Amino acid sequence: MALKKKIRDLIIGEEKHIESWGEYKQVMLSGQFALLGIVLCTLYLLIDIFSGIYVSTPILFCTIFFLSLSIFIHRQGDHCLANYFLLPTINIAVYLFASSESPHNGTFIFFVVNSVAAFAVFNYKQRLMSILFTVFTYLLFALAYFVDFSLLPKRIYTEEVMLFNLILNFTVALPAVTMCVYLLISLNHYNAIQLVQSNEMLTKTNKELDRFVYSTSHDLRAPLTSIMGLLNIAERTQSPQEVKHYMSMMKDRIHSLDNFIKDITDYSRNNRLDITREKVNLHDLVTEIWEGLKYAPEAERINFHVEIPEGTIVESDKNRLRIIIGNLLSNAIRYHDLRKEERYIRLRHQMNGRVFYLKVEDNGQGIAPEYQGKIYEMFYRGNEKSKGSGLGLYIVKETLMKLSGSIHLESSPGIGSTFTVKLPKRLV
């Protein structure tokens, strides 16, 4: 893993990222070809110097320079331009050596490698460049094989040296072609998986949309219908006390409607917006969320304990963390146990390697075992008296999926509940 990371950092650069998995693999393959070419040219350079042959030294140095330039351009982020330096360089280098040697030396096999590489390092939109480079490779092959012309002096090797060169060239060419073919197979497999996942997501979305339209129309109309009824009653009454009572009931319906619209907004944002990475102070975020919730009527006499040290920092999506923590705290407030004198909500955290845990613990009503598997379903309510939208925990689970996290519940009726959220300490 350490060597793999060093090669990645050498080709792309430290702290640099490529969003597309397919593009990342193609850039890495292109960079690895450049590194392989540099190593091979260096090896031939040492062999020639050891043998007292210096005529090919300038070509080998030029090849190493342009391959190194290709890697440098990759590090600057212009990956297409890097390939424009890579492919002509290796093609011309192979031509110069193939035209000055016997075909039995094995150099010609690199024309096949170059042709396959042209299709491996470019994406589908750049397929015309792949075809042009393949044609260019074939023309160089024909020129080297059929035309008795060479810029380098003809080099004659003994059968033993020729056999050694053949084995060496084949040993280098075979894994190079294998890498190209493996990448193409991997990209095809990855795209097939993405298609399956997209189809599954589309099916899931269609089912959720049906439920969403049905439940939303009901949950939006119910408070409005209730408010209209209360207005009609209030208009016919002469008692200020009764009017005040009806106004309080209307305010409660409006508050319920506002919470429902907020849940819909959170659901939409989680599905639509990209993940943003930023450093988040967990203690400050939790305190901020509680400040917005503690003045709700249901939050009276609930003691809130934050057991997260100040200065605890994680790298995550702050808005999505706010949605997760906010919904869990809202649920703990909404389903507290009025029969208990001492009511509390306790929020703790634990760091463990590359992940961190958030635990939201309360001594509220608790959840019966038969309902615990359903609470994350869209619009699920434990009972008809529930004031929630039925979206809160569904949104929490969907949001955690976006952040590569998970949630676990431990609950006993009449005792309380503990929701444990697991998240990466740093998003990748």
Residue 18 pLDDT > 60: yes
Residue 264 pLDDT > 80: no
How many CB atoms are located within 10 Å of the residue 7 CB?
14
Please state the three-class secondary structure of the chain as a single string.
CHHHHHHHHHHHCCCCCCCCHHHHHHHHHHHHHHHHHHHHHHHHHHHHHHHCCCCCHHHHHHHHHHHHHHHHHHHHCCHHHHHHHHHHHHHHHHHHHHHCCCHHHCCCHHHHHHHHHHHHHCCHHHHHHHHHHHHHHHHHHHHHHHCCCCCCCCCCCCHHHHHHHHHHHHHHHHHHHHHHHHHHHHHHHHHHHHHHHHHHHHHHHHHHHHHHHHHHHHHHHHHHHHHHHHHHHHHHCCCHHHHHHHHHHHHHHHHHHHHHHHHHHHHHHHHHCCCCCEEEEHHHHHHHHHHHHCCCHHHCCEEEEEECCCCCEEEECHHHHHHHHHHHHHHHHHCCCCCCCCEEEEEEEEEECCEEEEEEEECCCCCCHHHHCCCCCCCCCCCCCCCCCCCHHHHHHHHHHHCCCEEEEEEECCCEEEEEEEEECECC
User: Tens digit of pLDDT for each residue in 221-238?
Assistant: 666 777 777 788 888 787
The pairing of strands 355-362 and 302-307 is unpaired
Average pLDDT, the chain: 84
Mean pLDDT of 7-16: 84
Mean pLDDT of 279-293: 88
Cα separation, 32 vs 30, whole angstroms: 5
Mean pLDDT of 242-253: 79
User: Tens digit of pLDDT for each residue in 60-84?
Assistant: 899 999 999 999 999 998 999 999 9
* Residue 215 pLDDT: 58
Q: Smallest Cα–Cα separation from 351: which of 320, 315, 297?
A: 315
Cα separation, 91 vs 116, whole angstroms: 12
* Residue 384 pLDDT: 47
User: Tens digit of pLDDT for each residue in 39-50?
Assistant: 888 988 888 788
Residue 286 pLDDT > 80: yes
Mean pLDDT of 122-151: 90
CB 275 within 8 A of CB 298: no
Cα separation, 2 vs 8, whole angstroms: 10
Mean pLDDT of 354-361: 90
More reliable by pLDDT, 51 or 39: 39
Percentage of residues of the chain with pLDDT beyond 90: 20
Sorted by where each starts, the structural domains of the chain and their CATH numbers stand as 2-198 (no CATH), 275-428 (3.30.565.10)
Cα 333 to Cα 2, 165, 197, 340, 411: the distances in Å are: 48, 77, 37, 13, 15
Looking up tokens 């009454």, which residue turns up? 237
User: Tens digit of pLDDT for each residue in 155-196?
Assistant: 777 888 888 888 988 888 898 888 888 888 888 888 888 888
Tokens standing for residue 151: 């810029």
Sign of CA dihedral 243, 249, 326, 197: negative
Residues 6+ apart with CB under 8 A from 344: 302, 303, 304, 305, 362, 363
Mean pLDDT of 243-264: 75
Mean pLDDT of 366-372: 87
Cα separation, 94 vs 175, whole angstroms: 17
Task: Report how far Cα 47 is from the mean position of its chain's Cα atoms.
Answer: 46
CA angle 29-119-197, nearest 5°?
A: 75
Please state the three-class secondary structure of 336-357 as a single string.
CCCCCCCEEEEEEEEEECCEEE
